[in-house]
Structure 1
Amino acid sequence: MLLQTALAALGAAVVAAVPTLEVRGPYFVNPKTGNRFQVVGVAYQPGGSAGYNKELKKDPLSDPDVCLRDAALMQILGINTIRVYNLNPDLNHDECASIFNAAGMYMIIDVNSPLVGEALTSHNPWESYYAAYLNRTFAVVEAFKNYPNTLAFFSGNEVLNNNKTGATVPPYMRAVTRDIKNYIKNHSSRPIPVGYSAADVREILFDTYNYFQCSIEGEKDDMSRGDIFALNSYSWCGDSSFKEASYDELVSGFTGTAVPVFFSEYGCNVPYPRIFTEVGSIYSPDMWDVFSGGVVYEYTQEDNNYGLVKIDANGNAQLLGDYLALREQYSKLNFDEIQGQSAPKSDAKPPVCSEKLITTEGFNTNFTLPVLPPGAPEIIKDGVKPRPSGKLVEIKDWKVKYTVKNPDGTVITNLAVQPLADDEINRPGLNTEADISSATGTSSADSPKESEDAAPRAAAVLLPAFAMGAFAVMANL
């Protein structure tokens, strides 16, 4: 028994891991190199909101064979980060987390879900802010805090989406961030950033940013401030440009930020098929001094028609034209330059919270946050019970078990995750074994819908998060 324990400990010790990143002012920083890190991400929620099913005990990171299939395809694409929306803290995620870690990818984890009692609601947020809800968010933190490739937690997604929600939600959303950060401080061996994923509704976007990033006067260590700020933006549609897509307004609005800012979703699908020309701007001098990359929406094809890969009922997959189009845009980038920039020292400091920061009439200017609900202080102090835990484990077989096809229907051979060396982060060109087509364009598996092709651009702003089953958004519709 002692020998088995020793061998198990040795095996755990030699599992290669990506370097744990740090937030230093407005940058994600690799402490091993001192270089800035740019998020090259994809939204990962196979099955949409139905991919999270408590009764069937499944979520996007609970099936290692599925994770292996998808990690291999993402690794070839060049992805270094996945964003996962709906997770069950009661399930074991060790193998999936270890697979994405070995493939050189980080995880951004949303702590909420579309189910009642598992998200702060846009409508009457005080009714959803109670101890059982916080306990559930803390359980998600517990389940993922020990993985070195857990990059950050989102305390909310598009809970503010118009003037009406801007009037009531901000203090409660900031309180949830405070509570999660205090829980991490008490129970995690390392700091993990917590922040908010905003809807790109320009009328309230910068007020939302200012409210969540300012420092409350008199607070020595203001735990309610967001460590990061992200936005779901669909303003770049088709063959647009930096100015036409109003990316210049975003850069101007976030210049001087004291926290990392990045796209938590992007990839307008009107017109279709997508060509992803925004990639060239996101990872260019036009934006990289202010933005830290972005997350493409989304990996799997769902009813809303944003997918890179189509999955059938048996788990087999076929690449879509969007996968190849995105891969082509990544191939034009110089990742040595993008990921090789030294992180300069930043003197940027958050502004002091004041009603002067808010410009929209009716947006909340009260920075007195709600107190913890009864029972919550004890959970923050003692921890959730039962307490989930996670650790990296050894993966013995890296070969994909499902059949995966190119857009033209030919089977992709030699498809497997290529485990990277310790402290190595994925980028295009590290996994080149699989026989993936180099052709671009719409595939035979693509199935665009006429109604979506004709949809107005503005509709794309909230559609993806709604399709994910974001309860906070649904409650306000």
Structure 2
Amino acid sequence: MTINGIWYSRSNSTTDANAMDPLTDPEACTRDAALMSDMGINTIYVMAIDPKENHDDCFSIFNSVGIYVLMMLRKDAVFPTSYDDFAGSYNTDFLKSMFEIVDAVKDYDNLMGFDLGNFPAISQFALSNRDLSYPDAEKMYRAFVRDTKEYIAKNAPRPILVGWTLYLPRNDELLDASDLASDHVYWLGCAVDGDQDDLSRADYVSFWNLGFFETSPVKDQVEGYKSLADKLEFKNVVPVWLQMYGVSDEADYVEYELRPDLVEDSLLLYNSSSQIVQPNGPLSGGARFTWTNANLGWKVPKSNWGLVITQENGNVQQTEMFDRLRSVFKNMNTENWLSGDSVSSGEGHPACKKDDMVNTTTEFFFDQQTTMTIATDWELPTRPAGLDALITSGVGGQRGQMVDVTITAIVHTVRDFKGNVVTDLSLKPSKSESRTTTRSTSSGTAPPVQSSDTPLSTGAKAGIGVGAGVGGLAIAGLAAFFLLRHRRNAKAAAAGKDTQALDQESTEGGGYHKAELATGPGVELQQAELPGATHMSPQEVPAREQKGYIYAMNGDDPAELPTTERTVELPGR
């Protein structure tokens, strides 16, 4: 599977992360799922939810069109997590709040996994007043992985992926990803003492990096991703993807904005000629920032990052970026990104060895020259008092269940970027399946794991293949994480629906940099070029020279994953 994702949040709250929960309003979810599926989006990245709210409808709605959910797990993870947020967080109360989120969503079929959130950049630990060292912070996060995976193993109906996100470090050359990147991935993904059931190893590692046009134009930003891919080529011990990517520009009336030409980073990122994303590269895709404008707690001025503008009454206006990005993905076989050939390396995860880590130091200059070292051993901190009992008994959080999706009409008004009402928009579920429901209990005890013979719901019935007792995970794309999926191609419902070319008017503020499109047969079919696939000639999307809009993600009904009889395994590198 290749992740074609989008950040999905709804609030401008700067104080309450739970207020950003985008999965409590079924009407809004129906609207956005219809738009995203029309574009080919297959994953939403959700930064925060309120575990006391009901999310049944929204998870089921996204599931009905084949869209998975990746969820940030740290309760304080309003982007970006800082040293101060992080340093004292390894305690029982904090973990209890994380486990409540696990309970709230663990029963949803299309939950792909949990992200422990953005790990503070190494530079934040270079200041002289830091009591927590960077290596100790890494070990603390690996302990979070271990404790969360053990909680899932004892309290959830199936294994669920747990990983964490690093800022993409770079060397002095802006385009060159730091050599530390591959050693971070190795340290996070190796198995302590060679134990293939080691719960402390991350199931995946992701990186985030936002480019700014003045210093990192689209092509340069993508070169940075390619540099990362090159460095991971032989050390990709776990699946790696881009948790947050995008390029923005400064504007007079907002701090940052997106322009139509700036979404071409998606074209260059997913283009097979770039050899960044699988099957031709080591990365498993990424999640673009962001679906709609939201403050996210880190900028007071609003920034036009969004693909759509969402009004207070729920009406939506698409932006030029939405239309441009849809044109990009329409010329790629995004339905194939939910599938892939099963490739097994025949080997387990490498045993953790200090000698296998080549690049472990870097230098910073603040008030003085400082040499920083990453962790080279795997001695994790002792669990805080009471945590063992909490993991064993569960926190008894509110639980959800899959429900049937019966309402497909869009109640809000949706307009294109020219202001015309979009009249043919509706949710198009792939199918309706009977679902085994799970009810909220007074304990965290999980119901029996469903048999593979049980009818699967519309989205990914997960039995995700990484977690307690599951070793040797591997993937072709990030979908190597799933053991069994029954999904059929629902793309035919949207066949023949061409995107309208963007108009070419120019207004003041033109002269934008336009990235060249790569040529060759790989441009269109990028991912798994399945037998019988036809090569489409690349189509260059015309640039619109106008500032001031935002970007949003859309997609056709995504294809369902084909029946798979065995675990998809990680390609050997």
- Measured against the shorter chain, the TM-score band is 0.7 to 0.9
Question: What is aligned with 1:247?
Answer: 225
Question: Within 5 Å, which residues of 2 pair with 1:94-173?
Answer: 94-114=56-76, 122-123=83-84, 125=86, 127-162=88-123, 164=125, 166-173=134-141
Higher alpha-carbon Rg = 2
* Mapped contact 1:414–1:434 kept (Cα < 8 A): no
Cα separation, 1, equivalents of 2:122 and 2:32: 31
Cα separation, 1, equivalents of 2:114 and 2:53: 18
Q: Which runs of 5+ in 1 are unaligned?
A: 1-36, 449-477
1:404 corresponds to 2:414: yes
1:190 corresponds to 2:190: no
Cα separation, 2, equivalents of 1:243 and 1:266: 9
Cα separation, 2, equivalents of 1:436 and 1:391: 36
* Deviation at residue 153 of structure 1 after TM alignment: 0.5
> Deviation string for 1:48-69 (max 9, x for gaps)?
4559565xx7721111111111
Partner of residue 260 from structure 1, selected from 231, 239, 244: 239
SS in structure 2 opposite 1:234? strand
Cα separation, 1, equivalents of 2:409 and 2:15: 23
Question: Within 5 Å, which residues of 2 pair with 1:29-428?
Answer: 37-49=1-13, 54=18, 59-114=21-76, 122-123=83-84, 125=86, 127-162=88-123, 164=125, 166-202=134-170, 203=178, 204-217=180-193, 219=195, 221-234=197-210, 240-241=218-219, 245-256=223-234, 257-270=236-249, 272-275=258-261, 276-285=263-272, 286-287=275-276, 288-289=278-279, 290-302=282-294, 303-335=302-334, 338-347=337-346, 349-356=348-355, 357=357, 358-360=359-361, 361-385=372-396, 387-421=397-431, 422=458, 423-424=486-487
* Mapped contact 1:145–1:188 kept (Cα < 8 A): yes
SS in structure 2 opposite 1:43? strand
Question: Within 5 Å, which residues of 2 pair with 1:443-458?
Answer: 446-447=548-549
Tell me the amino acid that sits aligned with residue 360 of structure 2: T
CA 434–241 in structure 1, closer or farther in 2 if over 3 Å, else same: closer
Q: Which runs of 5+ in 2 are unaligned?
A: 126-132, 171-177, 251-257, 295-301, 362-371, 432-457, 459-485, 504-542, 551-573
SS in structure 2 opposite 1:263? strand
* Deviation at residue 88 of structure 1 after TM alignment: 1.0
SS in structure 2 opposite 1:270? strand
* Deviation at residue 269 of structure 1 after TM alignment: 1.4
Cα separation, 1, equivalents of 2:75 and 2:546: 33
| TM-score normalised by the chain length of structure 1 | 0.77
* Deviation at residue 305 of structure 1 after TM alignment: 2.0
Cα separation, 1, equivalents of 2:48 and 2:85: 22
* Deviation at residue 265 of structure 1 after TM alignment: 1.1
SS in structure 2 opposite 1:408? coil
Cα separation, 2, equivalents of 1:146 and 1:169: 31
CA 284–344 in structure 1, closer or farther in 2 if over 3 Å, else same: farther
Alignment identity in percent? 28
CA 199–427 in structure 1, closer or farther in 2 if over 3 Å, else same: farther
* Deviation at residue 162 of structure 1 after TM alignment: 2.5
* Mapped contact 1:78–1:426 kept (Cα < 8 A): no
> Deviation string for 1:261-317 (max 9, x for gaps)?
111111111384143333334334412131111111100023232110001122211
CA 125–402 in structure 1, closer or farther in 2 if over 3 Å, else same: closer
Cα separation, 1, equivalents of 2:225 and 2:70: 23
Range 353-362 or range 292-301, more displaced = 353-362
CA 363–115 in structure 1, closer or farther in 2 if over 3 Å, else same: closer
SS in structure 2 opposite 1:127? coil
Tell me the amino acid that sits aligned with residue 62 of structure 1: T
Cα separation, 2, equivalents of 1:349 and 1:160: 30
Cα separation, 1, equivalents of 2:116 and 2:143: 10
> Deviation string for 1:422-460 (max 9, x for gaps)?
444788775479998542666999358xxxxxxxxxxxx
| TM-score normalised by the chain length of structure 2 | 0.65
Question: What is aligned with 2:453?
Answer: none
